[in-house]
Structure 1
Amino acid sequence: MQMASFDVDMFLRDYWQQRPLLIRNPWRAWRNPLEPDELAGLACEEGVESRLITQTPDGLKMESGPLPEARFGELGDSAWTLLVQAVDHHAPQVAELIDAFRFIPNWRIDDVMVSYATDGGGVGPHYDQYDVFLIQGLGRRRWRVGPRCNSQTPLVPHEDLRLIADFDATDEWILEPGDMLYVPPCYAHDGIAVGDDCMTYSIGFRAPSVAELIEGWSEHQADGLTEEDRYADPGLAIQVNAGEISAPALDRLHAMVMQALSDRDAFARWFGLHNSLPKYADADWRPEEPVEEQEAKALLALGTPLRRNPASRFGFIRQGPGILLFVDGHCFECNGETAALAEELAATPIVRTDPALAASQAAVTLIKALIDQGSLAFEDED
């Protein structure tokens, strides 16, 4: 699904990570990609992250999925909201929504969360640590947006939800099907369904924290060090006060740490692996049987398109004349025609293959490896 009236350059210059923006139906022809019953069905499945939020006399209550089918029949006329995470992993038509936002690098994309709410349903005023596009799929929703928040913003005491205690809206809109609201990180916002059958698609973007990067990179480098990698001080001079940790000692200690962490090429490879890790590590998308090499060659010779698994994460980093392709926590070193193929795989969900690739053993090996790990499939396969 593509947008027809959206100025990407203006958006990136004036709004991205700066301030909210309401975008009235920019689509060529908006159509809701998922039915409410399909969303409810996903919320009942094992391995699908879902939450049900209901309004009680004591405030909002959250239940985590999977939910029993009978639960929806028990809700009656009360106001409630169902949220299902990573719906793009399970519904190709929802995954297609992401295509319209590929002006943001793919490595920043997280997933598409879908919510369904009855009249008055919502999750309360809150803020997120990431950018989000909120697309109205069905029905209507009133969105209120407030100021930027931070870790010092007072929250309502709640076991499950991070709700803002004193929400003061600065803007308010009602979104109709196809309308979209962009909310930058940390901006307060609150959405309430106006009428029943309200569905919203939230396209969220990842932003690794400094703490996450330091912890992950440091642990990775530490794992590669030996017991012999230790502090040393040959030519030690006698100190006036033995209790002092001297400046030369601190210089040596600091240099040891910085040297171990300053290898940019090693950091690039680590980050590619770290960033491409699947959102749900326990999910197993591998085919029942590995693809036969001759079968792969035959399908390539026919020009059969390749489709990425919507749950997979692809990205690449240029390295000299070749590239490093990262897919679901694995690294593949690619050169020549394989590098060109890898770039295509990382750029688009469907790749129209060149039949000449069937003669390239390196390309066949790469494609077979990606199919066998569940990251890729030929278009005519289930």
Structure 2
Amino acid sequence: MNTIKFCLPDNISPEVFLRDYWQKKPLLIKQGLPQLAGMFEPDDILGLSLDEAATARLLTQNPTSQGDQWHLQQSPLSEEMFDDLPEQWTVLVQNLEQWSPELGQLWHAFNFIPQWQRDDIMVSYAPAGGSVGKHYDEYDVFLAQGYGHRRWQLGKVCDAGTEFIADQPIRIFDDMGELIFDEILEPGDVLYVPPKLSHYGVAQDDCLTFSFGFRRPNLMQVLDSLVDIATAEPSLFTPLLLEQPLQPSGQLEASSIAQIKSQLLAKLQSEQGDQLIAQAVSEVVSKRQYELLVPEEALDVSELEQALKEGAVIKTDYSSRLIYSQQADQITVFANGQRLEDISGCEAELLQRLADAQSLTYQDLLAADLPLETIMGWLENSWVWLDFDAQ
């Protein structure tokens, strides 16, 4: 049973947040994630940034007579890159939930937002004065303080006309307009920032800030996925029938284009079109952004059974993407960008429960009469993880 409280102030319900704040205006949530305070220390993140499998960046800020010049180094990072650093610098590491399933479980605090919109958990380490500059994001983000203190300033809403500083490796700007927020966050505090709102965070001391990002697919991703799926539909390869007015032999009439457009829209709005679009969107939003981290050690079936008998539970591994769609009485499950074709109704039901943030006990598996070999497959695919510390 999940006991993590929603990351919202006591006086704001999920309904009020989604109506009044989501993608509209920022919100400070004091002690929104108290579990995060002290979960990691700076050395943990600096050490992880050097792992060759980590997705990390080192950002340095060098003052010049013309203003600060930023420099960006991408992973793999090395210890030599940390020699002779300037006073202001930052290390960013993506996809933290892959390295810490316990951290990944904090996504439960945001279960009032559909989990298919989750991006990843990024951590930013900076010593006093470090930042990533004044910027905005195209997605929603909850900025959670895990260690130390960071001062956050929020300003204007940006748009396509926002001018960035030229010749910099990152998208930053000088003008945030009139400030609407200026406060220092303590460990456990969370700041929600909607898309396109300018923000600027500066470390006040050794500081770890965790970004829980949410984003939606863009139309190009959906169209690309739709085309891939449609190639398996033979009916779509049948040449169209069109009314043919008399016209010059070299001209493509606007009326012909209109007919083709009309038939295309009719196909998209048909039951077949609904199914194709549903699958295309499901595959896009369930795709992983990062390469799967293969565990060094794995349980065998007998060890798995023993752990479950002793109280361990199966939970969703949030380094993977497990979602489902439902049309009529049919549940379709997607994992890491793939539709799961050859699974039983029982397996689909249990995966649906996991996608809905439920845990599975040994008794659940016995009641479903699901072989433990099936669970082993889930573990090997990193769809789930085994929580030994469950009570």
TM range (shorter): 0.7 to 0.9
Matched to 1:271, the amino acid is V
**Runs of 5+ in structure 1 lacking a partner?**
none
Change (3 A) 1:356 1:374: closer
CA change 1:54–1:88 in 2 (3 A) is: same
- Say which of 32, 53, 58 aligns to 1:47: 53
Q: Are the aligned partners of 1:167 and 1:188 in contact in 2 as well (CA < 8 Å)?
A: yes
Question: Is residue 266 from structure 1 mapped to residue 276 from structure 2 by the alignment?
Answer: yes
**Which residue does the alignment assign to 1:187?**
197
Query: What's the counterpart of residue 337 of structure 2?
Result: 329
Residue 248 of structure 1 and its aligned partner are, at CA, apart by 4.0
**Which amino acid in structure 2 is aligned with residue 305 of structure 1?**
V
Question: Equivalent residues in 2 for 1:27-106 (5 A)?
Answer: 27=33, 31-58=37-64, 59-75=69-85, 78-106=87-115
Tell me, yes or no, if the aligned pair for 1:128 and 1:187 is still in contact at 8 Å: yes
Query: Using the alignment, how far apart are the partners of 1:165 and 1:17 within structure 2?
Result: 23
Question: What letter corresponds to residue 375 of structure 2 in structure 1?
Answer: I
Is contact 1:141-1:175 (8 Å) kept? yes
Unpaired runs of at least 5, structure 2: none
Please state whether the residue corresponding to 1:154 is helix, strand or coil.
Answer: coil
TM-score for both structures, normalised by structure 1? 0.85
Is 1:11–2:21 an aligned residue pair? no
Q: Tell me the CA shift for residue 273 of structure 1.
A: 2.1
Aligned equivalent of 2:253, options 236, 246, 257: 246
Once superposed, what is the RMSD of the aligned Cα atoms? 3.1
Q: Are 1:286 and 1:371, in contact at CA under 8 Å, matched by a contact in 2?
A: no
Q: Is the 8 A contact 1:83 1:116 kept in 2?
A: yes
Deviation at 1:102, TM superposition (A): 1.2
Provide the secondary structure at the position in 1 that maps to 2:131.
Answer: coil
Q: What SS is found at the alignment partner of 2:259?
A: helix
Are 1:109 and 2:118 counterparts? yes
**Inter-CA distance 143–290: structure 2 relative to 1 (3 Å threshold):** closer
* Structure-2 separation of matches of 1:74 and 1:349: 48
Partner of 1:305: 313
> Matched residue of 2:46: which SS?
helix
CA pair 83-372 structure 1, distance change in 2 beyond 3 A: closer
How do 1:230-379 and structure 2 match up within 5 A? 230-233=239-242, 236-239=244-247, 241-262=248-269, 263-280=273-290, 282-285=291-294, 305-332=313-340, 337-348=346-357, 350-355=359-364, 357=366, 360=369, 366-379=374-387
String of CA shifts for 1:303-332, please: whole Å, max 9, x gaps. 752133331111111133231111112323
Seen in structure 2, the aligned counterparts of structure 1 residues 167 and 231 have a Cα distance that, compared at 3 Å, is same
Aligned partners of 2:9 and 2:237: how far apart in 1?
Answer: 62
Residues 25 and 179, structure 1, Cα contact 8 Å, conserved in 2: yes
User: CA 1:326/1:115 → structure 2, altered by over 3 Å: closer, same or farther?
Assistant: same
Instruction: Pick closer, same or farther for the CA change 1:244–1:268 going to 2, 3 Å.
Output: same
Report if aligned partners of 1:301, 1:355 keep a CA contact under 8 Å in 2. no
Distance of aligned partners of 1:46 and 1:350 in 2 relative to their CA distance in 1, 3 Å threshold: farther
How far apart in 2 are the matches of 1:366 and 1:30? 33
In 2, the alpha carbon distance for the partners of 1:329 and 1:316 equals 11
Q: Which residue of 2 is the match for residue 212 of structure 1?
A: 221
1:132 aligns with 2:132: no
Question: Is the 1:51–1:62 contact (alpha carbons within 8 Å) kept by the matching residues of 2?
Answer: yes
TM-score by length of 2: 0.84
| Paired positions, count | 374
Structure 1 range deviating more: 61-70 or 34-43? 61-70
